[in-house]
Amino acid sequence: MKSTEENNKKIRLRRGIILLLSLILVALVVILTPKEKSSPDTNQPKDTAPKEHKEISTDYSLNRFTEGTERGLLQEIGICDTMNVVENNLDVPACSPRFFRFFTLKNNTPLKSGFMLLIRSGVNAFPTRRLVVFERQNKKLIKVNGFIGYIIERRKTNSAYDDIVIRFFERYDRQKYFYHCLFTWKNNKYQYVNCEEINDQKIKVQLQDSVSNVVKQILIDKQYLF
């Protein structure tokens, strides 16, 4: 039994190393490959329609609750101390905009029907920001997604649910890696589409699928999606 457990640990370790090395190699190709000048293709139709998107940056010192239902929703999901009025305790956080930021989940729908909640780093002793998605089903708020990362952009779609871009961070071999990943609403939750950037460098189209698959596996293995 002991030898079997040790073998499983070795297999998982080798798998993780292979995934990380693959990502590093692909990322280097993305960064170091010179940009090719594109020539106009008269045979391809041009998409001139503007793509609506909104970049998002969060400064909790400027954050405000504006709808009036936010504290009640925080109490409903049990993430903060409703009796705490002190706003400097991250371990036992007050239900305050200093610690939590709300985003509407479905366009033109109030927060009480569903929302995305960005949780400040350090809250409940968790070291990084988290984004948790709730939707009301049968009168109860249900968590449908969790990300150890934070939202940096939302993009209009043909549905009532925007696509979202989430920035993930990991440290490996003393190096920092930032992944910008696109998610779309499908089957009642946000689902991974691809990785668009690594360390603020656009991934080339010809490498999009291979890089995205590696990044997705890293997010799963490190439980950045929960």
Order of strands across the sheet that contains 130-137: 100-104, 114-119, 130-137, 140-147
Strands, DSSP E only, in 139-188? 140-147, 150-155, 163-172, 175-186
Distance from first CA to last CA of the chain, Å, rounded? 30
Alpha carbons 185 and 157: distance in angstroms, whole number: 10
Give the distance between the most distant pair of CA atoms in the chain.
65
Q: What is the pLDDT of residue 86?
A: 87
Alpha carbons 53 and 34: distance in angstroms, whole number: 28
Phi and psi torsions of 130, nearest 5°: -130, 150
**145 within 8 A of 133, measured Cβ to Cβ:** yes
Task: From residue 29, give the alpha-carbon distance in Å to each of 26, 32, 200, 202, 204.
Answer: 5, 5, 14, 11, 9
Indicate the Cα dihedral angle 50, 210, 169, 119, nearest 10°.
Answer: 60
What is this structure's pTM? 0.81
- Residues recorded for the chain: 226
The burial of 148, by beta-carbon neighbours within 10 Å (0-12 exposed, 13-18 middle, 19 or more buried), is given as buried
> How many Cα neighbours within 13 Å face the side chain of 13?
6
Strand, coil or helix: 197: strand
Ranges of each domain in the chain = 1-31+152-226, 54-147
Q: Kindly give the confidence (pLDDT) of every residue in the chain, 226 residues in length, as a single tens digit, with 9 standing for 90 and above.
A: 555 555 455 445 545 554 555 556 555 544 544 444 444 444 444 444 555 889 999 999 999 999 999 999 999 999 999 999 889 999 999 999 999 999 999 999 999 999 999 999 999 999 999 999 999 999 999 999 999 999 999 999 999 999 999 999 999 888 999 999 999 999 999 999 999 999 999 999 999 999 999 999 999 999 999 9
Type of residue at 182: L
Alpha carbons 168 and 115: distance in angstroms, whole number: 20
DSSP state of 82: T
